[in-house]
């Protein structure tokens, strides 16, 4: 996702939201100023999380979210990388 998504607690907030939904995966800042998120879990939980990502936490200004389906990795918990 792009916009003002770094320096606003986006990764921490995303981890909190994903964990509350029972998702596993990760969130990380990218060198180009965007944030990358990978989440897996129940379809409805992933959909709810995707909806949350379109606005993010207070102070964020999400301009765009690009989504694609990837193979599940089954990693432990939801991590900030």
4, 11, 28, 30: the catalytic one is 11
Any residues with CB less than 8 A from the CB of 59 and at least 6 apart, and which? 4, 8, 9
Distance of alpha carbon 44 from alpha carbon 66, whole angstroms: 18
pTM of the model as a whole: 0.85
| 75 SS3 class | coil
Told to judge if 11 belongs to the known catalytic residues of this protein, a careful annotator would answer yes
Average pLDDT over residues 75-80: 90
- Full domain range(s) for residue 24: 2-80
Distance of alpha carbon 21 from alpha carbon 43, whole angstroms: 11
Contact 1, 55 (CB under 8 A): no
pLDDT bracket for residue 74 (50, 70, 90): confident
Number of domains in the chain: 1
What is the domain-level CATH number for residue 71?
Answer: 3.30.70.100
Told to judge if 29 belongs to the known catalytic residues of this protein, a careful annotator would answer yes
Q: What is the pLDDT of residues 5-64, one digit of tens each?
A: 556 588 999 999 999 999 999 999 888 888 899 999 999 999 999 999 998 888 888 888
């Amino acid at each position: 996702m792009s916009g003002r998504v770094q320096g606003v607690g986006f990764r921490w907030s995303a981890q909190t939201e994903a964990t509350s939904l029972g998702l596993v995966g990760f969130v990380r800042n990218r060198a180009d100023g965007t944030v990358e998120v990978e989440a897996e879990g129940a379809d409805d939980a992933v959909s709810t999380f995707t909806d949350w990502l379109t606005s993010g936490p207070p102070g964020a200004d999400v301009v765009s979210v690009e989504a694609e389906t990837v193979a599940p990795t089954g990693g432990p918990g939801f991590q900030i990388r």
